[in-house]
């Protein structure tokens, strides 16, 4: 149970979350298939789709915001790895189809990263649909901090003031 | 919280970095030398050539698509790696 | 589904001429440009929604409302370009247009069997029969639109039966599209008439 001194807002429970919000939260993880959806499997498209989804859904609720953030943050390193692989592949193809061992190792690692991403995204989508908070390693903590922190910044001095009479 | 974040981030990088290193050192698909041809394939090709010669009694020319394709493949693999011949006059 | 385009008491001849000669520039181009990007997002949502319906039997409501809003936007534009309504169509997913109304109630449950049937055989039992008839309906619509153009130009009034015929074409094609895009489980009727009261 959260105490009043906690820097974070209390978490909503599954029964308190409307079905619509659960569906919106689930949708965030499915944006990783955007490239496949429009038949242009460019790594960057999935990231853009995740970002657009976050932008459109960030005001809905903290639960949706959390899942959209987690989906986006986890997509960033995957996208970077995929783009590096693509660029490296092109370089290898241009150099008479020579694939060094480091490239092969990298390709296998990226394939595993993508597989892990897909599996955990689907699990997270299913959990979100049930109204559950599901935390990825690293990204879960980051997203939770951003979505549920209380906005307790220092009080700002007023800038506007009435006219002098 | 920040400490746990950093630890988890480093853990992820380490795990996948290790995967990369392992698969770079121990490749799943070892590079085959172009000079390697399995004994079975060599025997098969030899048998095919022998049967063709005995059947057609032609020693100058091989009129068989399968043999032609097989020899084409071998030629394609060997030609890029064979150095040009040096003739000493 | 309910789709109506209000028949105005009088139509502006200036707007008619403006739309005919410059409609491509000030209406079709800006809307078309934006619709292209929104259409890409709609395509992504359709793909995602397909899998969600397949596994849960329910179209996510936010995505559904977006798709209907997108369809409304396209219909608002088409109604103006086809001279069924005056005025400039509003941009966006959410605007309310009093002249062009599309109502599609949200389905709480959707049939997964029908979903798969539409995916694999939609081209056969929907695309071919409706496409065939709509092709001829489209030709007739273009002829009616051409005649109506002259009538509006000289009288400022759009004949009601002509208006209903052209609206019916839009209604029929919209029903087919909505069915093929998994937004409704109701098989589209072979008519452009309003079937829901």
Do B3 and B46 belong to one domain? no
Q: Is the pLDDT of residue C130 over 90?
A: yes
Q: Per mean pLDDT, which range of A135-139, B82-86, C122-126 is the poorest?
A: B82-86
Q: Do B24 and A102 touch (CB under 8 A)?
A: yes
Q: Do A30 and C48 touch (CB under 8 A)?
A: yes
Do B38 and B16 belong to one domain? no
Flag whether C147 is in a domain.
yes
CB of C60 less than 8 A from some CB of A: yes
Nearest residue of B to residue A77, measured between CA atoms = B13
Do B73 and B87 belong to one domain? yes
The chains found to touch C (3+ Cβ pairs under 8 angstroms) are A
Domain that holds residue B59: 32-89
Do B76 and B41 belong to one domain? yes
Flag whether C190 is in a domain.
no
Q: Is the pLDDT of residue A2 over 60?
A: no
pLDDT of residue A135: 94
pLDDT of residue B31: 55
Do B47 and B70 belong to one domain? yes
Do B60 and B88 belong to one domain? yes
Do B1 and B36 belong to one domain? no
Do B21 and B51 belong to one domain? no
Instruction: Report CA C160 to chain centroid distance, whole Å.
Output: 19
Domain that holds residue C133: 2-180
What burial letters (b/e) apply to C27-52, b meaning 16+ CB within 10 Å?
A: bbeebeeebeebebbbebbbbbbbeb
Q: C83-113, pLDDT tens digit by residue?
A: 999 999 999 998 888 899 999 999 999 999 9
Please, which residues have CB within 8 angstroms of residue B36's CB and are 6 or more apart in sequence? Answer: none
Q: Tell me the CB-side half-sphere exposure of residue A102, using CA atoms within 13 A.
A: 4
What are the C-alpha distances in Å from B78 to residues A7, B45, B72, C13?
69, 16, 10, 79
As a whole number of angstroms, the distance between CA A104 and CA A99 comes to: 7
Do B42 and B20 belong to one domain? no
> A94-103 long-range CB contacts below 8 Å, 24 or more apart?
A101/B24, A101/B25, A101/B27, A102/B24
- How close does chain C come to A16, measured CA to CA in Å? 18
pTM of the model: 0.79
Flag whether C189 is in a domain.
no
Do B23 and B37 belong to one domain? no
- CA-nearest of A44, A31, A22, A53 to A118 is A31
Q: Per mean pLDDT, which range of B41-50, B78-87, C73-82, C119-128 is the poorest?
A: B78-87
Nearest residue of A to residue C66, measured between CA atoms = A56
Flag whether C186 is in a domain.
no
Give percent of chain B with pLDDT exceeding 90. Answer: 9
Q: Is the pLDDT of residue A154 over 70?
A: no
Q: How many domains does chain B have?
A: 2
CB of A64 less than 8 A from some CB of C: no
Q: How many domains does chain C have?
A: 1
- Give which of A36, A37, A49, A57 to mutate to test C binding, by max C Cβ within 10 Å: A37
Give percent of chain C with pLDDT exceeding 70. Answer: 99
pLDDT of residue B54: 82
Do B68 and B86 belong to one domain? yes
User: What ipTM was assigned to the predicted interfaces of this complex?
Assistant: 0.81
Do B21 and B37 belong to one domain? no
């Amino acid at each position: 149970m959260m105490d009043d001194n906690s820097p974070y807002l209390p978490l909503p429970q599954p029964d308190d979350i409307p079905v619509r919000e659960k569906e919106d939260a689930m949708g965030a993880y499915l944006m990783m298939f955007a490239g496949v959806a429009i038949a242009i499997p460019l790594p960057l498209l999935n990231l853009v789709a995740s970002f657009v989804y976050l932008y459109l859904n960030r005001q809905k609720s903290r639960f949706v915001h959390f899942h959209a953030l987690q989906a986006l943050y986890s997509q960033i390193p995957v996208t970077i790895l995929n783009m590096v692989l693509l660029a490296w592949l092109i370089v290898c193809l241009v150099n008479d189809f020579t694939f060094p061992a480091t490239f092969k190792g990298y390709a296998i690692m990226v394939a595993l990263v993508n597989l892990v991403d897909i599996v955990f995204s689907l699990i997270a989508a299913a959990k979100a649909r049930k109204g559950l908070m599901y935390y990825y390693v690293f990204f879960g903590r980051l997203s939770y901090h951003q979505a549920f922190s209380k906005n307790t910044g220092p009080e700002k001095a007023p800038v506007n003031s009435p006219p002098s009479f | 919280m920040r400490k746990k974040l950093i630890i988890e981030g480093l853990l992820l990088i380490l795990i996948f970095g290790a995967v990369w290193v392992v698969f770079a050192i121990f490749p799943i698909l070892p590079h085959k030398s172009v000079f390697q041809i399995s004994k079975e394939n060599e025997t098969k090709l030899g048998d095919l050539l022998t049967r063709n010669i005995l059947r057609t009694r032609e020693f100058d020319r091989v009129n068989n698509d399968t043999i032609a394709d097989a020899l084409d493949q071998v030629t394609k693999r060997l030609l890029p790696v064979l150095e040009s011949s040096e003739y000493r006059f | 589904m309910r789709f109506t385009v209000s028949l105005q008491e009088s139509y502006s001849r200036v707007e008619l001429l403006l739309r005919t000669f410059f409609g491509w520039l000030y209406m079709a181009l800006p809307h078309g440009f934006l619709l292209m990007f929104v259409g890409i997002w709609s395509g992504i949502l359709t793909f995602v929604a397909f899998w969600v319906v397949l596994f849960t039997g329910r179209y996510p409501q936010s995505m559904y409302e977006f798709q209907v809003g997108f369809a409304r936007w396209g219909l608002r534009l088409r109604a103006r370009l086809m001279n069924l309504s005056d005025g400039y169509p509003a941009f966006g997913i959410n605007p309310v247009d009093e002249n062009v109304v599309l109502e599609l109630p949200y389905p709480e449950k959707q049939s997964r069997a029908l979903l798969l049937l539409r995916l694999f055989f939609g081209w056969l039992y929907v695309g071919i029969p409706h496409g065939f008839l709509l092709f001829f309906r489209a030709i007739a619509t273009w002829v009616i639109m051409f005649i109506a153009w002259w009538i509006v130009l000289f009288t400022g009034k759009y004949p009601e039966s002509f208006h209903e015929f052209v609206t019916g074409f839009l209604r029929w094609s919209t029903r087919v599209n909505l069915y093929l895009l998994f937004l409704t489980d109701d098989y589209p009727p072979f008519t452009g008439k309003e079937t829901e009261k």
